[in-house]
């Protein structure tokens, strides 16, 4: 059973999963329950990741983590929020028993060690009482025989494809004999088969557990695929009598059904817009795999994940709303997940030809900035129509790429080769430095880093530009006429 089921079972018994307070207590547990099986214990970090605490609320006075644990890393990528004992390390897929603890996904299946101050007891039967109930996945333990459901059949009870026989009884006030029987008329209509102490069936009446006070909590035969069983109805009987007597008893009766041909139904998933849908069992990965066959009665959990720039609008078909979709397969079902594109960022239009001047190392030249724009992404070139000045620190033309954020157009310049001949006069915005131009009404101003190829030094290249062949979609704000060399301006607000 998983950790939550084990803790729930412990609560039914009036206790909780075990708290281990010191080394001596752990050694006693290993001696009593065995060291060659993993057991759930009450240690967990469910409430706060990384903060481990006992489910009993007792202070943490002792831990015994295996080397490298806890690491919150499972092979399936699930969070690991509960601890097991008897861990001995290993690699993915190959694990060992040992003398340590490990954090595990809570859905893993182990038995748990229950701690209770006083075991609740069941009266030894003094009359003949019969209790009948429908198939259940897990046993119900109770001190009241009428409320107990001690025999469970696993997932076959819900129409799934696995039989898991489990018997759980509490402790009795005296010694009892326990009998377990199976009647399968589709296989042998003439005999009821009795389970003996070796877990073998026979036709003579013998106790399964003899002269015991309990408690009992055992799985029989492991998990059996129903495809290996003959179709039909199987009847199960559990009887408790006073030790060495059949005069009085509690008799519980239940059953399970193996269908002649287990029904399977198809779940088809589709998407509208950009996004994908996955199932918790990993079978459906839509985009790529959008249809799977499931056994009748299977509950399939679907989760929708929108692509970047899209949002999940909701389910249609077999589910509705925007939460997790759970589909129970009682017929062929179809589900559609709809994704809506989020609005594109609204940015001012700065495409066009911008004329202005550049200033660096004391030289002032006319320049033209030519921009094209796709949403908030902008590219273009900076051109200088005049010949290079004495310092050879400007350029003929250079490509730039950038984007708009607020009212700032920020751009990068590709790395340029080192210039040895100043007469070639290659570039002013050198290397991978960023440049920033602030949009202010019909003007842009700002700077980028430049190199003087004569001195090898760097300076800020300042641009002052005005729009000459397009119209900005922003309102004019304060005009700046006091731009100085080396100035990088902060963003300014604007309105549409």
325-359: pLDDT as tens digits: 999 988 899 999 999 988 766 777 777 777 777 66
Is residue 488 a contact partner of residue 449, using CB atoms and an 8 Å limit?
Answer: no
In the predicted model, what is the mean pLDDT of residues 176-195? 96
What are 453's two structure tokens?
A: 């190829």
First-last CA distance in the chain: 62
Q: Name the residue with tokens 């589900």.
A: 335
CA distance 367 to 428: 12
Q: What pLDDT score does 476 carry? A: 25
pTM (2 decimals)?
0.43
Q: What pLDDT score does 420 carry? A: 39
Q: What pLDDT score does 12 carry? A: 64
Backbone angles phi, psi at 76, to 5 degrees: -95, 0
CA distance 56 to 18: 8
| Most confident by average pLDDT, 260-274, 374-388, 418-432 | 260-274
Which fold does the domain 3-115 belong to in CATH? Answer: Mannose-Binding Protein A; Chain A (3.10.100)
Evaluate the CA torsion angle 306, 311, 316, 321 in order and state its sign: positive
Please report which residue ranges of 433-493 form alpha helices under DSSP H. Answer: none
Residue ranges, comma separated, of all CATH 2.60.40 domains in the chain are 121-258
Backbone angles phi, psi at 9, to 5 degrees: -60, -40
Residue ranges, comma separated, of all CATH 2.40.128 domains in the chain are 352-467
Q: What pLDDT score does 364 carry? A: 66
* Domain 121-258 bears CATH identifier 2.60.40: yes
> Of 449, 422, 455, nearest to 436 (Cα)?
449
> Of 262, 242, 80, nearest to 162 (Cα)?
262
Q: What pLDDT score does 452 carry? A: 44
Q: What pLDDT score does 488 carry? A: 27
Residue ranges, comma separated, of all CATH 3.10.100.10 domains in the chain are 3-115
CA distance 164 to 156: 8
Residue 124 has pLDDT above 90, yes or no: yes
Average pLDDT, the chain: 78
Residue 490 has pLDDT above 50, yes or no: no
Q: Please identify, in words, the CATH class of the domain defined by 352-467.
A: mainly beta
- Residue 179 falls in which region: left (phi positive, over 0), alpha (psi -120 to 50) or beta: beta
Give 454's pLDDT tier (boundaries 50, 70, 90).
very low
Residue 191 has pLDDT above 90, yes or no: yes
Cross-strand pairs, 18 = none
To 10 degrees, the CA torsion angle through 422, 423, 425, 430? -10
Q: What DSSP element (H or E) covers 449?
A: strand 443-451
Query: Who has greater pLDDT, 361 or 263?
Result: 263
Q: What DSSP element (H or E) covers 180?
A: strand 176-183
Give tens-digit pLDDT for 353-401. Answer: 777 776 655 566 677 778 888 878 888 877 765 544 443 444 456 667 7
Is residue 413 a contact partner of residue 430, using CB atoms and an 8 Å limit?
Answer: yes
CA distance 459 to 467: 26
List, in order, residues 6 or more apart from 198 with CB less than 8 Å away.
none
CA distance 333 to 313: 20
Residue 219 has pLDDT above 90, yes or no: no
């Amino acid at each position: 059973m998983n950790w939550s089921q084990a803790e729930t079972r412990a609560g039914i018994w009036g206790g909780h999963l075990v708290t281990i307070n010191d080394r001596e207590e752990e050694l006693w547990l290993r001696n009593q329950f065995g060291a060659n099986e993993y057991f759930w214990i009450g240690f967990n970090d469910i409430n706060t990741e990384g903060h481990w605490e006992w489910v009993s609320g007792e202070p943490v006075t002792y831990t015994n983590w295996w080397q490298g644990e806890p690491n919150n890393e499972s092979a399936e990528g699930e969070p690991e929020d509960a601890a097991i004992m008897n861990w001995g390390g290993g690699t993915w897929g190959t694990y060992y028993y040992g003398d340590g603890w490990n954090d595990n996904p809570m859905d893993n299946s182990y038995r748990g060690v229950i701690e209770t101050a006083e075991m609740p007891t069941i009266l030894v039967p003094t009359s003949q009482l019969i209790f009948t109930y429908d198939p259940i996945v897990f046993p119900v333990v109770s001190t009241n025989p009428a409320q107990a459901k001690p025999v469970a059949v696993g997932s076959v009870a819900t129409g799934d494809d696995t039989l898991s026989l489990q018997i759980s009884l509490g402790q009795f006030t005296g010694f009892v004999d326990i009998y377990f029987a199976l009647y399968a008329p589709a296989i042998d209509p003439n005999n009821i088969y009795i389970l003996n102490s070796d877990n073998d069936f026979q036709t003579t009446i013998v106790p399964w557990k003899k002269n015991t006070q309990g408690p009992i909590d055992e799985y029989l035969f492991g998990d059996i695929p129903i495809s290996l069983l003959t179709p039909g109805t199987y009847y199960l009987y559990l009887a408790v009598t006073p030790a060495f007597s059949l005069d009085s008893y509690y008799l519980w009766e239940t059953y399970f059904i193996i269908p002649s041909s287990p029904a399977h139904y198809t779940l088809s998933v589709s998407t509208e817009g950009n996004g994908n849908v996955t199932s918790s069992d990993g079978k459906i990965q839509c985009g790529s795999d959008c249809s799977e066959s499931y056994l009748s009665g299977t509950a399939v959990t679907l989760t929708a994940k929108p692509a970047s720039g899209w949002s999940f609008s909701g389910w249609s078909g077999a589910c509705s709303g925007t939460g997790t979709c759970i589909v129970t397969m009682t017929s062929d079902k179809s589900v559609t997940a709809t994704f809506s594109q989020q609005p594109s960022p609204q940015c001012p239009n700065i495409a066009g030809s911008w004329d202005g001047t550049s200033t660096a190392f004391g030289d002032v030249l006319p320049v033209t900035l030519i921009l094209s724009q796709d949403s908030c992404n902008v590219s273009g070139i900076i051109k200088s129509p005049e010949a290079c000045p004495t310092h050879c620190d400007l350029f003929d033309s250079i490509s730039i790429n950038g984007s708009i954020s607020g009212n700032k157009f920020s751009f990068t310049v590709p790395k340029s080769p080192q210039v040895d001949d100043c007469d070639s006069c290659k570039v002013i915005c050198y290397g991978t430095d960023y440049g920033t131009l602030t949009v202010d009404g019909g003007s842009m101003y700002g700077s980028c880093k430049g190199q003087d190829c004569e001195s090898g030094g760097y300076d800020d290249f300042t641009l002052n530009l005005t729009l000459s062949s397009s119209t900005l979609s922003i309102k004019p704000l304060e005009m700046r006429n006091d731009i100085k060399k080396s100035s990088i301006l902060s963003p300014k607000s604007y309105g549409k």
